[in-house]
Structure 1
Amino acid sequence: MKKTIIFLLIIIMSINLTGCWDQKIYEKSGFVLQVGFETYNTNDMLISFTLPVVDMTAKERTELIYSNGAMLREFREKARKTSAKVVEGGKIQQFLIDDSLAKKGINNLFEVIERDSTDPPTAFVLITEGSPKEMFQVLQGYGDKPVPAFYIHDLIRSNIKSSYVPETRMFQFSTQYFSPGIDPIIPIIKLQTDKGKGVEVTGTALFSGDKLVGKIDTKETPFLLAMMGKMKGTIFISKRLTEKEQENNKKGCAISINKVKRKLSVNILDNKPVVNISLNLNAAIAEFKWNEMYDSDFEQYVEGVISAEIKDLCEKVLKYTQEVGSDPIGIGDIIRAKHNNYWEKINWENAYKDVVFNVKVNVNISNHGVIR
């Protein structure tokens, strides 16, 4: 009898706890795949949406809607008045923001996006060199590319694997923005016509708070990620060996970095933060001089030259981050956790410019892949 009563109570509670949701019919919904924001004038932005076109007889595979407006919600209502379907945001793949708008600050914009529970927090955030609207329009005419949203999605994912750009999704940007002592970074893309039609990743945007303050290229980004402990592996093209080997090698050397170990320590000496960064890179020579047999002395020479070149590159990136006032590694966050008494006494935005960085790089070439 007791078991029967418990069973009935469970059934009654299950019925009472069931909820409901507004019905959304797929065939009548226009799912936004991309959202673009760019500068329009002093008070307004130009906002763009792309939506998939299901009709196989249609000329374009995506529907492009754009208009100026001061508020995102204002534009969404304008879009609903021109789209044949109900505009929904649950399938957004990317938020694209032009660099001129990003320099003014983007957190207020993101706060509005995050308040809508249908906007996915896992959508990529990208900075564009040029107009997002123009990029959407041009990509509509590329018949040899997938739907623009999926093309850019796959492009970013493949370059994240090669460490040419960071992985920055909506929730990651917001987390870093609200964390004292660490600044967000975002991939940069642009339309490319000189190397074949398409979109190219060009580097990484550095932020101070929510404002874009600087940029680094795709050669520098992997080693910023390495110092952050986030490098996944990359191909590094060394030009310094070209200078040393002019007679026999005029191309340079390509090495494949497949494993990275980072050690980082922060100390306060003479009232200044001193940061020691050690990178141990395991690599293989991917391309150098063919039909050569290398001895151990030459291997050590190559390791030394490339280690010094990467060290100089890391120091250049760190110096630049100090000049523009961006702390992507999160040195301030470490100091806040481990040296809180010092943290409470200083303004980190000013103190970061005086941080002393000591960088040590060791490249270990495990094999050279020679063909003989």
Structure 2
Amino acid sequence: MKQKIALVLICICIVTMLTGCWGKSELRDVGIVSGIGIDAGTEAGFELTTQTIKPGDPKAGTPASVLIQTSKGATVFDGVRNFIITAKKKQIFQHIQVVIIGRELAMTGISPALDFFMRDHEPRSSMDVFIADQTAGEILQIKNKDFPIPSLTLKESVRVQEFLSKAPQVSIHNFYQGILEPYQDPYLPIIHKVKDNFEVYGTAIFNGEKLVGDLTAFETRGMLRVLGDAKAGIQVVKLPSSENEPILISIEIKKSKSSIKALFQNGQPSIQVEIKETGFIGDVSGQIRLDQQKINEIKGLYAKAIKLEVEKTIIKIQKQFKSNVFDFAGTIQRTNKKYWKENAKQWDEIYPELSVNVNVQTDITANGLEE
């Protein structure tokens, strides 16, 4: 009896050791993609560029790096599978960090380039999306010894943008939501090639799925202030001086909040944007005594600078690009459902002429010096 039990246990152990994961891929058989760029094809279809991770060798002191590979396809999925021809192995996208779209492609319509990433089971909806100032391929082919895996550095660089508020961080999920929502348009950060490096600043504004224009770094901060997403940054104001040159004062944004309301007068809508921002003085370029009177003067200049920046940004987005980034339509709909039901079909004509008023309140909580 004991021999039979022992035999059964041995068989169980053997069977357990022989089992494996169904559909499992060995690392040597696949390419782990950390970043992908998509450009319009020279004739038709798409041109894809990927950064595939090459594991380092700790014993040999070799750090991890990336292998740059390219492919073409009639569709993005077709191009992804065609990497097997050039890479001699299947590419997996479970660990992809960034997707970069070329400018020319974005101007013709971005949805066909991103559809694969929303449907396929491998890519994660949290990966960041960027618009390349020129082509996505040239960004991903940048080689810099300080950034062995550039796509990881790129993801981190846009995350720390919250300290500047000069570029938004947008996941592919949030971007797609902006396309699908009626009367609302999405936006993306812009990545620029600078010699053998890259810089992220500015915003690509969309009307539907098409890129229609760019915001500068400072206009981006104005947009983020309206959206309530300006978490930090430096606002420089000019304080008049008895000297020839004004005194420059740097104010660091500590907290910025906004609200957007729809008002109606004689049956016609208007938008009221309220911004409340708190900051503290980071540095002063000249010798001044920061008493309460001077602080109040600086607060006024601070509010004036914000108002000018925000109004300029709204005009550009609303009247030049005719993009519904701020969801004014949703605000009006929630405030006056009857008006919206009667006028929704005319929104494209109403929106560019919609009156938008901006009110800014500021406070300075510290002057940067110990009392």
Amino acid at match of 1:93: Q
Q: TM-score, normalised by structure 1?
A: 0.86
User: 1:252 is paired with a residue of what secondary structure?
Assistant: strand
Structure 1 stretch 314-323 or stretch 283-292: which is displaced more?
283-292
Task: Decide which of 140, 143, 150 is 2:145's aligned counterpart.
Answer: 143
Deviation, 1:290, is 5.1
Quick check: 2:47–2:79 contact (8 Å CA) kept in 1? Answer: no
Amino acid at match of 1:157: R
Mapping of 1:207-222 within 5 angstroms? 207-222=206-221
Quick check: 1:180–1:332 contact (8 Å CA) kept in 2? Answer: no
Deviation, 1:369, is 1.5
Mapping of 1:85-234 within 5 angstroms? 85-138=89-142, 140=143, 142-193=144-195, 197-234=196-233
User: 1:151 is paired with a residue of what secondary structure?
Assistant: helix
The 1:107/1:271 distance shift into structure 2, 3 A limit, reads farther
Amino acid at match of 2:181: S
User: 1:350 is paired with a residue of what secondary structure?
Assistant: helix
Deviation, 1:301, is 1.1
Quick check: 1:292–1:370 contact (8 Å CA) kept in 2? Answer: no
- 1:44-63, CA deviations, whole angstroms, 9 ceiling, x for partnerless residues? 32211110012548898211
Structure 2 unaligned regions, length at least 5: 1-20
- 1:85-143, CA deviations, whole angstroms, 9 ceiling, x for partnerless residues? 421111111110122211111112222221101111111010110222112222x2x11
Q: TM-score, normalised by structure 2?
A: 0.86
- 1:228-259, CA deviations, whole angstroms, 9 ceiling, x for partnerless residues? 12221211123x43xx3372755622110111
Match of 1:35 in 2: 36
Amino acid at match of 2:297: Y
Quick check: 2:100–2:136 contact (8 Å CA) kept in 1? Answer: yes
Deviation, 1:22, is 2.4
Using the alignment, how far apart are the partners of 2:349 and 2:112 within structure 1? 24
Match of 2:281 in 1: 285
Match of 1:237 in 2: 236
The 1:89/1:251 distance shift into structure 2, 3 A limit, reads farther
Match of 1:78 in 2: 82
Question: How many residues get paired?
Answer: 345
Match of 2:348 in 1: 349
- 1:195-235, CA deviations, whole angstroms, 9 ceiling, x for partnerless residues? xx521122011111111112111112222112112221211
Match of 1:326 in 2: 323
| Identity of matched residues, % | 23
User: 1:226 is paired with a residue of what secondary structure?
Assistant: helix
Using the alignment, how far apart are the partners of 2:363 and 2:80 within structure 1? 54
- 1:153-181, CA deviations, whole angstroms, 9 ceiling, x for partnerless residues? 11111113432211210100111111112
Structure (1 or 2) with the larger CA radius of gyration: 2
Quick check: 1:266–1:275 contact (8 Å CA) kept in 2? Answer: yes
Question: What is the aligned-residue RMSD (CA, Å)?
Answer: 2.3
The 1:209/1:271 distance shift into structure 2, 3 A limit, reads farther
User: 2:48 is paired with a residue of what secondary structure?
Assistant: strand
Amino acid at match of 2:241: E
Using the alignment, how far apart are the partners of 2:354 and 2:73 within structure 1? 42
Deviation, 1:74, is 1.5
Structure 1 stretch 213-222 or stretch 269-278: which is displaced more?
269-278
